[in-house]
């Protein structure tokens, strides 16, 4: 288990701030009970932020027929919808909600060439809001498989998540399950699949990024 690069500076600054706060409290000779409470809450808060930025090592079993979960979290949407930004066709949408307790590393659901990336500034509706996919801050990524099939993935900011990061570029050749981005604090990732894909998950099922098979392609 390592700490993700997106969290190292935040964790260092937070540690210094908490140490200073508790040092001031101790120097002020406040009652021991209050000092103990300050130590306890500071420790719990720091551990919560620390676990948010954890980056566990996982083994990826690549399979060109599978679409893997791009993030840890809970499957909240499985429905047929019109993808209007890039594909302009009916697709099966699978959405994974990432709570602040989940690992927030985002992984390529498939391997292939990155054909399209576009960042959109936007609102910060709660991640499960029906309009968050089209109105929130988001990044759209389109992968093209060796057979020409395209899979669209969308990182979506939520009411708390206000920083979307991605580390790939158009025309990159990427591996299935490899990290492509990170979203800070609770959010959502959508995947748009062909209508003939065989969905392997159910609503409310927990998914693990790079491990859980969302669907099998025809």
The total number of residues written for the chain in this structure:
218
Please list the active-site residues.
187
Domain ranges of the chain: 2-55, 66-216
pTM attached to this predicted model: 0.84
- CATH superfamily to which 66-216 belongs: Glucose Permease (Domain IIA) (2.70.70.10)
d(CA 33, CA 6) in angstroms, rounded, equals 35
- pLDDT tens string 199-214: 999 999 999 999 999 9
- pLDDT tens string 14-60: 999 999 999 888 888 888 888 888 889 999 988 888 877 888 889 89
The residue written with tokens 């709660």 in the block is 126
């Amino acid at each position: 288990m390592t700490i993700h690069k997106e969290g190292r500076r935040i964790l260092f600054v937070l540690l210094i701030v908490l140490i200073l706060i508790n040092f001031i409290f101790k120097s002020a000779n406040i009652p021991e009970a209050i000092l103990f409470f300050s130590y306890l809450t500071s420790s719990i808060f720091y551990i919560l932020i620390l676990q948010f930025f954890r980056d566990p090592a996982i083994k990826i079993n690549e399979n060109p027929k599978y679409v893997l979960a791009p993030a840890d979290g809970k499957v909240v949407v499985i429905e047929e919808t019109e993808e209007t930004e890039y594909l302009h066709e009916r697709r099966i949408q699978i959405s994974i909600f990432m709570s602040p307790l989940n690992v927030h590393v985002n992984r390529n659901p498939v391997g292939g060439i990155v054909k399209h990336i576009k960042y959109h500034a936007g609102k910060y509706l709660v991640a499960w809001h029906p309009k968050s996919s089209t109105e929130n801050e988001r990044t759209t990524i389109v992968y093209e498989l060796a057979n020409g099939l395209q899979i669209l993935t969308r990182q979506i900011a939520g009411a708390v998540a206000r920083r979307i990061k991605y580390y790939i570029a158009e025309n990159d050749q990427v591996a299935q399950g490899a990290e492509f981005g990170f979203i800070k604090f609770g959010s959502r990732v959508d995947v748009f699949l062909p209508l003939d894909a065989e969905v392997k998950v159910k609503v409310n099922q927990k998914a693990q990024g790079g491990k859980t098979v969302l669907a099998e392609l025809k």
